Chains A and B, each alone.
Chain A
């Protein structure tokens, strides 16, 4: 829902610097961001009112001795900096603490729930990229036409709609009303389907969440592709292509579109990370068993180690995707390389 820039987040002027220097700058920046995530991830969860050991044992009968032992186990009797050092050390060995609610290591939980999220975001990303780019170049080529007006209008409306509400609407119409699609989960409960039947069942459950995500995200690809093609349209090489006698369709697909794709490729990677973070609302609406749903479960408990773990994973995913976008931006555009 935030406006995404075509150019990767970049306030440092890196134009004109050599490729290794550019790489080092970007990698350094990403590493600092990752470190900040870890620092925030630790200290934000230390401002919670109350004692973590008491929070963890809430609702159970425990003796003061047991609480004290738990405090020692969690290292709460140590100074804050020692606790932070332990947190960082555990993080590097893949230990994100133990969930209060599930009573399992957070890393294991994330491992269990990451698959459905990747399936959902991957499918949504593929469809919205294909749809957005295709509609965008079409709209730009026929700028001012009804096709252009309708598609940019619809895309902008979808873009200002809260994701979770769109999900609820689809649930209302296609889940509850028409009954075409299941209203939640990833597969039919108590079904013993295997093989192809199971794949179809999951695909059936996947439709509504994917449509929700696509509707919200494709507008950005459409707008960027449209702007990008519009910029190419006055270029001299298109006049040359037409002068050669190429048909209009070929001028578009062979000459204009490949050049216009450049800025959109980086945008795709920029939004992929945000797409993963955006699963919190979509997965909540459709109770899709992924990381977003896990986060929702964690914050309604509240299960602090779980929320802390998903915060680190989501933020890291976005930072890594941003770094990839930065790299592609530089590698794909030959004009930047030579300068």
Chain B
């Protein structure tokens, strides 16, 4: 009986998954966004092949600084003569890496706190709610700036700083969903049969909030990438890796904007906007499909 029950559950989940995929595919903007993201991820992975690191070595470049776009350098060169397109390729690795890993941290914290705030009562709930409220209110950029100032410079610092400051919205959504789920009869039945907190949260609440967390993940990656570029722009990034934010910092420091070196100002910014827009498009579509409160509208 158990095996056939599990098989039925699996079949139902597969059917639901196929349904979700179909519904997302009916949003053309989400399909475009997902396809573009795939291309960008492949390009980021191929960066060492497409643009070997030594061609971006300041001591080995042959081009002059701030050259305008040409056949040899499609997007021109930066102040030290490095190819802007190459920097862009390598920069995508930092953006995506930080975006994904910071979001992973934020999702774990957000889901845990959200479920805890929805499931428990009394003092635990009060304390968890206060913490969520604090992180909702405190400006994440300012907190991330402080964290990256006091920790040693590096990609992991940026990941931690962004992860720790961007989970509150997720916690809020997860809590609302947890509250809804826990009023369902099957939870009551489970509790009547003697299920503990761990069983109810792990077996019933977590699977039910997961779709919402997925939609939130996609949206959070976008804002994490913007936050990463902002921190790098303020000089808090990892000095040893290329990033779009640090390219823009170089642009500001060398006066590229006022000198009219448009290619060096335009390229990293356009890259950020495209990637963030892709994540936003996919995330919005996921949310529209998976979030029950939005589906009704």
Which secondary structure dominates where chain B touches chain A? Answer: helix
A307 at the interface (CB under 8 A from B): yes
Known: A299-B234, A302-B149, A304-B150. A2 touches B137 (CB 8 A): no
Cα distance A296–B234 when bound, in Å?
A: 7
User: For chain A, which range describes its interface: under 10, 10 to 19, 20 to 34, or 35 or more residues?
Assistant: 35 or more
Q: Which residues of A contact B130 (CB under 8 A)?
A: 29, 32
Known: A165-B272, A318-B138. A280 touches B172 (CB 8 A): no
- A11, B133: Cβ atoms under 8 Å? yes
Stretch at the interface among A44-52, A116-124, A128-136: A44-52
List residues 32-68 of chain A with CB under 8 A from any CB of chain B: 32-33, 36-37, 40-41, 44-45, 47-49
List residues 270-286 of chain A with CB under 8 A from any CB of chain B: 273-274, 277-278, 280-281, 284-285
- A322, B150: Cβ atoms under 8 Å? no
Known: A2-B223, A44-B147, A168-B265. A285 touches B252 (CB 8 A): yes
B7 at the interface (CB under 8 A from A): no
- A277, B139: Cβ atoms under 8 Å? yes
Contact pick for B229, options A157, A162, A172, CB 8 Å: A162
Smallest distance from the beta carbon of A209 to chain B beta carbons, Å?
14
Known: A172-B260, A315-B142, A319-B137. A48 touches B226 (CB 8 A): no
- A281, B234: Cβ atoms under 8 Å? yes
Q: Which residues of A contact B269 (CB under 8 A)?
A: 161-162, 165, 168-169
- B257, A175: Cβ atoms under 8 Å? yes
- B223, A1: Cβ atoms under 8 Å? yes
List residues 137-164 of chain A with CB under 8 A from any CB of chain B: 157, 160-164
Q: Which residues of A contact B181 (CB under 8 A)?
A: none
Cα distance A12–B130 when bound, in Å?
A: 9
Which secondary structure dominates where chain A touches chain B? Answer: helix
Known: A175-B258, A318-B137. A162 touches B142 (CB 8 A): no
- A162, B230: Cβ atoms under 8 Å? yes
Contact pick for B146, options A44, A162, A183, A274, CB 8 Å: A44
- B142, A311: Cβ atoms under 8 Å? yes
Question: Which of B230, B260, B266 counts the most A-chain CB atoms under 10 A from its CB?
Answer: B230
Contact pick for B136, options A9, A280, A307, CB 8 Å: A9
Known: A33-B137, A296-B234. A11 touches B169 (CB 8 A): no
Cα distance A281–B230 when bound, in Å?
A: 8
Smallest distance from the beta carbon of B143 to chain A beta carbons, Å?
8
B53 at the interface (CB under 8 A from A): no
- B252, A177: Cβ atoms under 8 Å? no
Cα distance A315–B143 when bound, in Å?
A: 9
A295 at the interface (CB under 8 A from B): yes
Smallest distance from the beta carbon of A264 to chain B beta carbons, Å?
19
Known: A2-B140, A176-B258. A307 touches B145 (CB 8 A): yes
A314 at the interface (CB under 8 A from B): yes
Q: Which residues of A contact B227 (CB under 8 A)?
A: 1
Cα distance A177–B139 when bound, in Å?
A: 34
B259 at the interface (CB under 8 A from A): yes
Q: Which residues of B contact A44 (CB under 8 A)?
A: 146-147, 150
The residue in chain A whose Cβ has the minimal distance to the Cβ of B261 is: A172
Cα distance A273–B138 when bound, in Å?
A: 9
Known: A11-B129, A284-B234. A307 touches B260 (CB 8 A): no
The residue in chain A whose Cβ has the minimal distance to the Cβ of B147 is: A44
List residues 228-279 of chain A with CB under 8 A from any CB of chain B: 273-274, 277-278
Q: Which residues of B contact A318 (CB under 8 A)?
A: 137-139
Q: Which residues of B contact A12 (CB under 8 A)?
A: 129, 133
- A277, B151: Cβ atoms under 8 Å? no
Q: Which residues of B contact A10 (CB under 8 A)?
A: 133
The residue in chain A whose Cβ has the minimal distance to the Cβ of B280 is: A160
The residue in chain A whose Cβ has the minimal distance to the Cβ of B139 is: A277
- A281, B233: Cβ atoms under 8 Å? yes
A40-B143, A302-B149 given; 18 more Cβ-contact pairs under 8 Å? A3-B219, A11-B133, A160-B222, A162-B229, A168-B252, A176-B259, A280-B141, A280-B234, A281-B234, A299-B149, A299-B234, A299-B235, A299-B236, A304-B150, A307-B149, A308-B146, A311-B145, A318-B139
Q: What are the 9 tightest A-B residue pairs by CB atom distance, in nearest-first order? A: A277-B139, A165-B269, A176-B258, A171-B257, A9-B136, A172-B257, A314-B142, A48-B150, A183-B258
Of the A-B pairs whose beta carbons lie under 8 Å apart in the complex, a sample of 15, sorted by A's number, is A2-B140, A10-B133, A29-B130, A44-B150, A162-B229, A168-B252, A175-B258, A277-B142, A281-B230, A299-B236, A300-B234, A304-B150, A307-B145, A315-B143, A318-B137
